[in-house]
């Protein structure tokens, strides 16, 4: 199979301990649907009470080469886990921080008022949940899945009109800056210590994680798809959040 091609990943990844005996590994971890179960809304999640401390200990095991890479803002993640002591890329990779909380790059680009006004009006009209983020705005339709096609069509047309990008997720469509994606965050982390020179592995469940899978694969690493199997750039598969916790030995 050529680099970048998709298939349905059929196999569980090798045990992490085995991978570590082969050389340095860098782990990039999605948040929702990977480390925490999906919920009815962004604020309804229930992470393990000590997940932040477990991730810190895990990152130390990898010599610091572990980062959260999420569509959520870093401040949103910290509202659930407390202050992060590991590297993180929030807002779909547009807000990158080191483990010491030093910002890497320019930071997220806020959504122009004209776009946000239209998104909010559409959400109100169609009874959808609107979420404001530092990097964009999202229409959530988990409570009304039949509205999904309409929400996507509206968001894609709005993005094209204003030169932004529409990103699809599980029961959500989000407008973000064109260069905001998880693959670019992986590439930025891999350029510097403690990630540089390690084999990168991305663990995620959603369509937005495909850019992370592809970036890791291009750098000689791998992707691990979590949840329902589908065509993916990931080579490996884990069935659920509990299996991710077990594989990471959290």
How are strands ordered across the β-sheet holding 165-169?
129-133, 136-140, 172-176, 165-169
Residue 154 has what pLDDT?
Answer: 96
Q: How many residues does the chain have?
A: 250
pLDDT value at position 106?
Answer: 73
- What's the pLDDT score for residue 3? 43
pLDDT of res. 219: 97
pLDDT given at position 2: 42
Residue 197: in which H helix or E strand, if any? none
Listed in sequence order, the residues at least 6 apart from 90 whose beta carbon sits closer than 8 Å to its beta carbon are 68, 70, 71, 72, 73, 74, 75, 76, 77, 97, 108, 134, 135
- pTM attached to this predicted model: 0.82
Q: Which residue reads 């609107």 in tokens?
A: 130
Q: Which residues of the chain have pLDDT under 70?
A: 1-5
Integer Cα distance of 235 and 75 in angstroms: 31
Q: Specify the pLDDT at position 105.
A: 80
Considering only CA atoms, give the Rg of the chain. 17
Residue from 18, 30, 43, 95 carrying the catalytic annotation: 30
What is the pLDDT at residue 5?
63
Q: What is the pLDDT of residues 132-149, one digit of tens each?
A: 888 788 899 988 899 999
Which residues, 6+ apart, have CB-to-CB distance to 233 below 8 Å? 4, 5, 6, 210, 213, 214, 217, 223
Evaluate the omega torsion of the peptide bond into residue 194 and state whether it is cis, within 30 degrees of 0.
Answer: yes
User: Is 129 part of the annotated catalytic residue set?
Assistant: no
């Amino acid at each position: 199979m050529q680099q970048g091609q998709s298939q349905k990943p059929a196999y569980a990844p090798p045990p992490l301990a085995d991978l570590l005996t082969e050389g340095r590994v860098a782990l990039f971890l999605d948040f929702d649907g990977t480390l925490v179960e999906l919920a009815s809304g962004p604020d309804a999640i229930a992470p393990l009470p000590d997940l932040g401390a477990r991730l810190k200990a895990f990152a130390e095991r990898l010599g610091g080469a572990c980062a959260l890479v999420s569509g959520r803002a870093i401040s949103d993640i910290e509202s659930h886990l407390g202050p992060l002591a590991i590297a993180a890329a929030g807002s779909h990779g547009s807000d990158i921080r080191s483990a010491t909380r030093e910002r890497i790059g320019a930071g997220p680009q806020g959504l122009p008022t004209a776009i946000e006004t239209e998104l909010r009006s559409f959400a109100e009209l169609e009874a959808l949940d609107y979420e404001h983020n530092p990097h964009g705005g999202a229409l959530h339709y988990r409570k009304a899945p039949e509205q999904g096609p309409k929400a996507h069509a509206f968001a894609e047309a709005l993005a094209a009109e204003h030169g932004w990008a529409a990103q699809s997720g599980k029961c959500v469509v989000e407008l973000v800056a064109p260069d905001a994606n998880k693959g670019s965050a992986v590439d930025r982390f891999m350029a510097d210590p403690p990630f540089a020179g390690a084999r990168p592995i991305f663990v995620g469940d959603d369509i937005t994680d495909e850019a992370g899978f592809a970036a890791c694969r291009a750098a000689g690493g791998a992707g691990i798809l979590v949840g329902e199997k589908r065509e993916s750039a990931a080579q490996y598969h884990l069935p659920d959040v509990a299996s991710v916790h077990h594989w990471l030995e959290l």
